[in-house]
Amino acid sequence: MRLESDTIMSSTWLLIYLIPVISIVLMVLAAIASPFIGAGVLLALWSILIFVSLLSFIVSIVLTYKLVKRRNTHFQRQIFLFEDILSILKEIISKKEASAEAEITTLERTLRETKVEETEKGAVLWAILSAIIFIASWYVYYFLMKDFYKHERREDMFFEDVSRILGKAGITFSVPRRVKPIPNRSFILYLILTIITAGIFGIYWLYILLIDPNEHFKYHIELEDELLKSLESGIA
């Protein structure tokens, strides 16, 4: 499921905001130079600006949908992964006749918390609302930023418990170190900076919403491959 759910998104999606900004700057320059370029050329340039802005607006709806959908599919896959890992660990503990009841209970609680807190967000709904109600896009940015941060912290605790359980069963599994963990960024600060910069800081905000999950998914490849080797050795 990893190839389907953990989509690496390119930072070229930022062009949906950069292109209109560049177009507006060019149009202002064109307006200043209008006495020299003629009304016909100016009208053509304005037509291009309107077309580019409309296209950018449509693509922004698609981008919001893809960001929320990516969150949903990854979180759902993670729940499946937790369930399978927990099942395999119980099998290993039973086979090795080891004692890890407390750790297993902790994993079960983490799994329950994950199912409660990492519920699905309507990708189509939020894409449409963000297009109609501008403030809705800020809420989308909020939960995308905060949900992945909390998800990563919960995941770290889960795999540390997995490592301890496997250690009790005589199986070595060291949780790989995250090179680029998702920081706990301030939504209020990002919102204020976006407002006072007339949306320019929002381009960076969108950038981190693209890049943070990308780094998270890349870490998953390393983590899951290492875990799979340890679990296979324990079952064999």
- Condensed to tens digits (0 to 9), the pLDDT of residues 176-217 reads 888 889 999 999 999 999 999 878 888 899 999 999 999 999
pLDDT of amino acid 126: 95
Residues 214-219: contacts with CB under 8 Å, at least 24 apart = 214/8, 214/9, 215/179, 215/180, 215/182, 216/148, 216/152, 216/182, 217/2, 217/6, 217/7, 217/8, 217/74, 218/8, 219/176, 219/178, 219/179, 219/180
- Average pLDDT of the chain to the nearest whole number: 87
Q: What is the average per-residue pLDDT within 27-36?
A: 69
The identity of residue 80, as a single letter, is F
**Model pLDDT, residue 44:** 72
Residue 228 predicted with pLDDT over 90: no
